[in-house]
Amino acid sequence: MRVLGIDPGLTRCGVGVVDGSVGGTLTMVAAGAVRTPADDELPARLLGIERGVEQWLDEHRPDAVAVERVFAQHNVRTVMGTAQAGAIAVVCAARRGLPVALHTPSEVKAAITGSGRADKAQVGAMVARILRLDGPPRPADAADAVALAICHLWRGSAQARVARARQEFARRIELARQANGL
Amino acid sequence: MRVLGIDPGLTRCGVGVVDGSVGGTLTMVAAGAVRTPADDELPARLLGIERGVEQWLDEHRPDAVAVERVFAQHNVRTVMGTAQAGAIAVVCAARRGLPVALHTPSEVKAAITGSGRADKAQVGAMVARILRLDGPPRPADAADAVALAICHLWRGSAQARVARARQEFARRIELARQANGL
């Protein structure tokens, strides 16, 4: 399964593509950023983000897209840009019928480092270790996007394990009912 | 000139189309709302807004689009949805090469009522008067969208008047220079 992680922002959208399977090793396919000039008007910037995200989708054909879920607890101006850029990323994926998952920054940190309060350096170090890289992907937004993709693969796996356990439980109940003629 | 005003929101995007010319009367062509179900996931909702805005653009072929400029002074959750829906509206227009203008709520209120602090009822009443309607367009978001379109037509006219005055001034300076052999 291939996941495109997107860490949205007007100036820099971090993007990262990770291949992985349940219980298998994870491989980083590509990482980078979609940038738009800060002195461009908003319509041109959003159009630039749309084109950039489309290019990453065309080139890497992911099976799912993971986008950071934005909360407004930070700087208000930044958050507005993040919400706008994130909306464009989400709609690009949804238009292609790709499943889109939204993960909060603390879900990503907890998935990667075990702590929802880990700092950027710690997340970057763990991303490098998990993917067997010499160092965290650059720029920092790319590392965050790769972390999102890893989080999605692992959370998806965990959710799949829970779903399989539920099916197995239901199957045993059914067998027990049959054995007892119920 | 035909302007599509869009008052963005995840649950309801107000939309209003107004025809007008500099110094001429304004006519409301259509008003309504693009709605998305509150219990749908964000990707489906943004996709629904994109489809709805595209339909309004296809049907009414505006020359320009005016979208409310969002500030984060209000309820944080609402503002995030407004920013996301607004980003979709802006990119739909920009993709077609249409000029997109962003006006703040107080610019719109000031343009329509003379006061940047006017309430919704006052704006609605003035919209009805300006467009010679029996009452404000319904729902309320449609009235706000129509007000945005009127604001855009009038601000555009004012800007055009200033530009013409500048040109006339430059022409007279040039004539004076020629008359004096400079």
| pLDDT attached to residue B174 | 76
Span A127-173, pLDDT tens digits: 999 999 999 999 999 999 999 999 999 887 566 556 667 777 777 77
Task: Tell me how close the Cα of B50 comes to any Cα of chain A, in angstroms.
Answer: 8
Contacts of A79 in chain B (CB under 8 A): 72, 80
Contacts of B47 in chain A (CB under 8 A): 91, 94-95
Q: What is the mean pLDDT of residues B87-94?
A: 98
Number of domains in chain B: 1
Residue B181 confidence class, pLDDT cut points 50, 70, 90 = confident
| pLDDT attached to residue A171 | 76
Q: What is the DSSP string of A55-103?
A: HHHHHH--SEEEEEPP-TTS-HHHHHHHHHHHHHHHHHHHHTT--EEEE
Q: What is the mean pLDDT of residues A33-49?
A: 96
| pLDDT attached to residue A177 | 79
ipTM of this complex prediction, to 2 decimal places? 0.80
Range of the domain at A42: 2-179
Span B107-116, pLDDT tens digits: 999 999 999 9
| pLDDT attached to residue A164 | 65
| pLDDT attached to residue B17 | 98
Contact B70 A80 (CB under 8 A): yes
Span B56-69, pLDDT tens digits: 999 999 999 999 99
Task: Tell me how close the Cα of B173 comes to any Cα of chain A, in angstroms.
Answer: 33
| pLDDT attached to residue A161 | 59
Q: Is it the case that residue A120 has pLDDT exceeding 60?
A: yes
- How far is the C-alpha of B177 from the C-alpha of B182, rounded, in Å? 5
Task: Tell me how close the Cα of A126 comes to any Cα of chain B, in angstroms.
Answer: 30
SS (H, E, C) B10-77: CCEEEEEEEECCCCCCCEEEEEEEEECCCCCCHHHHHHHHHHHHHHHHHHHCCCEEEEECCCCCCCHH
> What percentage of chain A carries pLDDT values higher than 90?
74
Q: Is it the case that residue B159 has pLDDT exceeding 70?
A: no
Residues of B involved in catalysis: 7, 68, 141
CB-based contact (8 Å) between B91 and chain A?
yes
Contact B46 A72 (CB under 8 A): no
Contact A47 B94 (CB under 8 A): yes
- In terms of CA atoms, which chain B residue is nearest residue A51? B95
Q: B139: how many CB neighbours lie within 10 A of its CB?
A: 15
Q: Residue B32 is which amino acid?
A: G
Span B120-145, pLDDT tens digits: 999 999 999 999 999 999 999 999 99
| pLDDT attached to residue B22 | 67
Smallest Cβ–Cβ distance between B44 and the set A86, A87, A94 belongs to A94
- In terms of CA atoms, which chain A residue is nearest residue B45? A91
Average pLDDT of the residues of chain A:
90
Contact B43 A83 (CB under 8 A): no
Q: Is it the case that residue A22 has pLDDT exceeding 70?
A: no
Q: What is the CATH number for B57?
A: 3.30.420.10
CB-based contact (8 Å) between B146 and chain A?
no
| pLDDT attached to residue A178 | 78
Q: What is the mean pLDDT of residues B6-18?
A: 97
- How far is the C-alpha of A145 from the C-alpha of A52, rounded, in Å? 14
> What percentage of chain B carries pLDDT values higher than 70?
91
Q: What is the mean pLDDT of residues B27-32?
A: 98
| pLDDT attached to residue A77 | 67
Q: B87: how many CB neighbours lie within 10 A of its CB?
A: 33
- How far is the C-alpha of A98 from the C-alpha of A96, rounded, in Å? 5
Residue A7 annotated as lining a ligand binding site: yes
Put simply, the chain B residues between 153 and 182 with a CB less than 8 A from any chain A CB are: none
In the block, which residue shows the tokens 């919400």? Answer: A83
| pLDDT attached to residue B175 | 78
Residue A19 annotated as lining a ligand binding site: no
| pLDDT attached to residue B160 | 57
A55-74: b or e for each residue (b if 16 or more CB lie within 10 Å)? ebbeebebebbbbbbbebee
Q: Is it the case that residue A91 has pLDDT exceeding 60?
A: yes
| pLDDT attached to residue B163 | 61
| pLDDT attached to residue B72 | 62
- How far is the C-alpha of A44 from the C-alpha of A47, rounded, in Å? 5
Q: What is the mean pLDDT of residues A46-70?
A: 97
Q: B160: how many CB neighbours lie within 10 A of its CB?
A: 11
Contact A84 B85 (CB under 8 A): no
Residue B157 confidence class, pLDDT cut points 50, 70, 90 = low
| pLDDT attached to residue A156 | 73
- In terms of CA atoms, which chain A residue is nearest residue B77? A72
